[in-house]
Amino acid sequence: MNMIVAADANWGIGSKGALLMSIPADLKMFRQETLGKVIVYGRKTLETFPMRQPLDRRENIILSSRPDYRVKGASVVHSVEELLDVLKAYDSKDVYIIGGASVYRELLPYADTCHVTRIDQAFEADCYFPDLDADPEWEVTGRSDEMSYFDTTYHFVRYERKK
C-alpha cells in the first residue's frame, strides 16, 4: 500500500483545512501516480476537493466514522478493519492513501511505500505527517534532484519500509 503526501520541513501537511502550498509539479505527480488507481482518504480531505466531489478516473474510498455518511461516486467505509477487507479486492501496489493526517496515522502500519514531496521550508501548520526520517522502520530509496517553485525548493522522495 502506498501513501502520497506533500510535507514541509517539519512534516506539516496542512493548516485550517487547506494544503500548506500548491505546487503545480506536485499536483501533476499526484495525478500521474493515482490515475486509474484506488485512493483512500477521510471526509475532511474530501471537503478540500473542487466542489467537494470524489476525484475522477480513480476508485475513491472514504474512511469516515459517521455511520450514515454517503458520497455519490465513492465507497464509504467506517473502520480500518472494513477498509482492509474492501482493499483485499485490489492489488496493494495500486492503493494510495491520500490523507488527511488522522487517516495517514491510522494506516501507516499497513503502508510499504510513501511518496513524499518534501518542501524545504517550514510553514505554520496544524496537522502533520509522521516523521519518516526519525522512524527506523523507513528508509529513503529514491530522491529527485532539487526543484523550485518561485522561491521554494522541494524534492520528490520515496520512502520504503525496511524489509
All structural domains of the chain, each given as residue ranges with its CATH number in brackets, are 2-161 (3.40.430.10)
- DSSP state letter for 145: P
Mean residue pLDDT of the chain comes to 96
pTM: 0.96
What band does 48 get if pLDDT is binned at 50, 70 and 90? confident
Residue range 62-95, pLDDT digits in tens: 999 999 999 999 999 999 999 999 999 999 999 9
Q: Residue 147 contacts by C-beta under 8 Å, 6 or more apart in sequence?
A: 25, 153, 154, 155, 156
- 63 neighbors 80 (Cβ within 8 angstroms): yes
Span 33-53, average pLDDT: 94
How far is residue 136's CA from residue 140's CA, in Å, rounded to a whole number?
Answer: 11
Starting at the edge strand found earlier in the chain, the sheet holding 12-15 runs: 18-19, 12-15, 127-128
Please give the pLDDT value at position 163. 86
How far is residue 18's CA from residue 28's CA, in Å, rounded to a whole number?
Answer: 18
Grid cell locating 44: 475532511
- 61 neighbors 6 (Cβ within 8 angstroms): no
Residue range 120-160, pLDDT digits in tens: 999 999 999 999 999 999 999 999 999 999 999 999 999 99
By three-state DSSP, how is residue 8 classified?
A: coil
What band does 50 get if pLDDT is binned at 50, 70 and 90? confident
